[in-house]
């Protein structure tokens, strides 16, 4: 893997993955980051890489839905491996505007597969990043395994399920060297503050209401983003072509409990207005339509076959995440005010 195409590298997981790959892992090649820079993409996240490692990092502002453009990038940079992260990723947005999800997540993935099929001879690997949400919702018991039938419930998860099927089909039909990973909810530095954890941290810091959907008893498994990055790289290096791997954090938790943990950690720093506990900001709001009740993941396959396990507990990961958001107030302000968009216009047009 000398010339790795990373799609969506300016997003939350993509930024963390490129940082990990170029600064910490044993990857010795070059990363070509293709990102359209939607509201969720912020190239500032990789400014240090762009400055410090110019020979090993190239950024191309482009849309994976433009087949000719992607084909050109494959040729120009002699792409020999792909880590595909670009997607529309937020369930609430998919309920309001499913069309963008169908376009990027399905058509975009199809385009990339078509390009890799054309460049088949030089392609070592196409790794596709997906979600445990494709499996649908669990009852009180049980875990998603790699064999759990797909049963997606939101336009987001249905679009991701569709892209997973395409990747699998290209392996079966065209013998494309692919791997797929389905992971649980990520959290950590650089996450756009529309997802549960950063939204709650920032609202709690500002003394704003903490909107918990429904009864707050929905359960998610939480994966610290750096653990996800090490898992992706492990699969890319050692995973068996054609196989799928589940990745989890071993941290099942009800939403309400997560929000309470965030409040309690922030209270340790400084109590809220009038010395109140931040738990008083918790506000139950109307439930999300089609809200999946419980996700939980069995990651024994990657653990037993590839020797990967998550390092972070929920408590330690949350503390690191909260500290990062407190230490990076400028990043937060620029992202929340949309100011980073004018910076992007200036730099990338
Ligand atoms: P994100 O929304 O933070 O970032 C997505 C990135 O993709 C952005 O930089 C955006 O500009 C880019 N992008 C969007 N449309 C594009 C297009 N048409 N062409 C090129 N670039 C485009 O998402 P994330 O949270 O970093 O998620 C990355 C991947 O991981 C996604 O495939 C997502 O489905 C998957 N995933 C995320 C989670 C999670 O908890 N965040 C969990 C499981 C799986
Ligand atoms: P989210 O971070 O949107 O991830 P996903 O929907 O992909 O799991 O939401 C995580 C959980 O938190 C989910 O059960 C919905 C809930 N939630 C809230 O209760 N309030 C909120 O403001 C948000 C954004 C999410």
pLDDT 10s digits, 87-117: 999 999 999 999 999 999 999 999 999 999 9
**Atom of ligand 2 at shortest range from CA of 255:** 12
pTM to 2 decimal places: 0.97
In a domain, 10, yes or no: yes
The bound ligand whose nearest atom lies closest to the alpha carbon of 137 is 2
Write the residue with the smallest CA distance to atom 10 of ligand 2.
Answer: 196
Least confident segment among 4-8, 28-32, 186-190, 271-275: 271-275
Distance 8 CA to ligand 1 centre (A): 6
What is the number of other CB atoms lying within 10 angstroms of the CB of residue 152? 21
Cα separation, 298 vs 143, in Å, equals 6
Write the residue with the smallest CA distance to atom 14 of ligand 2.
Answer: 218
Distance 87 CA to ligand 1 centre (A): 4
Show which residues are catalytic.
132-133, 156
In a domain, 236, yes or no: yes
Q: What is the mean pLDDT of the chain?
A: 96
Print the domain residue range for 127. Answer: 3-190+223-252+290-311
In a domain, 339, yes or no: no
Write the residue with the smallest CA distance to atom 3 of ligand 2.
Answer: 195
The bound ligand whose nearest atom lies closest to the alpha carbon of 39 is 1
Q: Per-residue pLDDT for 272 more than 90?
A: no
- Give me the sign of the Cα torsion angle 265, 266, 268, 271: negative
In a domain, 260, yes or no: no
In a domain, 72, yes or no: yes
Q: Per-residue pLDDT for 9 more than 70?
A: yes
**All residues at 6 or more sequence positions from 329 whose CB lies less than 8 Å from its CB, including other chains:** none
Q: Per-residue pLDDT for 10 more than 90?
A: yes
Q: Could you read off the pLDDT of 237-257 as tens digits, one per residue?
A: 999 999 999 999 999 999 999
Distance 92 CA to ligand 2 centre (A): 8
In a domain, 52, yes or no: yes
Cα separation, 89 vs 40, in Å, equals 9
What is the number of other CB atoms lying within 10 angstroms of the CB of residue 47? 11
**Atom of ligand 1 at shortest range from CA of 64:** 19
Distance 28 CA to ligand 2 centre (A): 37
- CATH number where 105 lies: 3.40.50.720
The bound ligand whose nearest atom lies closest to the alpha carbon of 213 is 2
Cα separation, 198 vs 65, in Å, equals 29
Domain count, the chain: 1
């Amino acid at each position: 893997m000398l010339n790795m195409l990373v799609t969506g590298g300016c997003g939350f997981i993509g930024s963390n993955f490129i940082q990990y790959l170029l600064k910490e892992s044993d990857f010795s090649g070059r990363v070509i980051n293709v990102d359209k820079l939607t509201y969720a993409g912020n190239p500032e996240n990789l400014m240090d890489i762009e400055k410090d490692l110019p020979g090993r990092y190239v950024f191309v502002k482009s849309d994976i839905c433009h087949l000719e453009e992607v084909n050109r990038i494959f040729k120009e940079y002699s792409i020999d491996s792909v880590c595909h992260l670009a997607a529309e990723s937020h369930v609430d947005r998919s309920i309001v505007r499913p069309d963008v999800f169908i376009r990027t997540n399905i058509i975009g993935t199809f385009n990339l597969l078509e390009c890799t099929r054309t460049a088949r001879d030089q392609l070592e690997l196409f790794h596709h990043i997906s979600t445990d949400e494709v499996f649908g919702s669990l009852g009180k018991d049980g875990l998603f395994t790699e064999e759990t039938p797909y049963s997606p419930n939101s336009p987001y998860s249905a679009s991701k399920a569709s892209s997973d099927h395409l990747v699998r089909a290209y392996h079966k039909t065209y013998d494309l060297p692919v791997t797929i990973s389905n992971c649980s909810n990520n959290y950590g530095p650089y996450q756009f503050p529309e997802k549960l954890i950063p939204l709650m941290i920032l609202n709690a810091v500002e003394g704003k209401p903490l909107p918990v959907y429904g009864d707050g008893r929905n359960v998610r498994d939480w994966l610290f983003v750096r653990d996800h990055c090490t898992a992706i790289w492990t699969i890319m290096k050692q995973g068996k072509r054609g196989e799928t791997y589940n990745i989890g954090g071993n941290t099942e938790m009800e939403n309400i409990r997560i929000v309470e943990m965030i409040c309690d950690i922030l209270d340790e720093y400084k109590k809220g207005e009038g010395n109140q506990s931040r738990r008083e900001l918790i506000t139950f709001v109307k439930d999300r339509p089609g809200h999946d009740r419980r996700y939980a993941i069995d990651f024994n396959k990657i653990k037993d076959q590839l020797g990967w396990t998550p390092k972070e507990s929920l408590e330690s990961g949350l503390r690191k995440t909260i500290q990062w958001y407190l230490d990076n107030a400028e990043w937060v302000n620029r992202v929340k005010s949309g100011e980073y968009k004018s910076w992007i216009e200036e730099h990338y047009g």
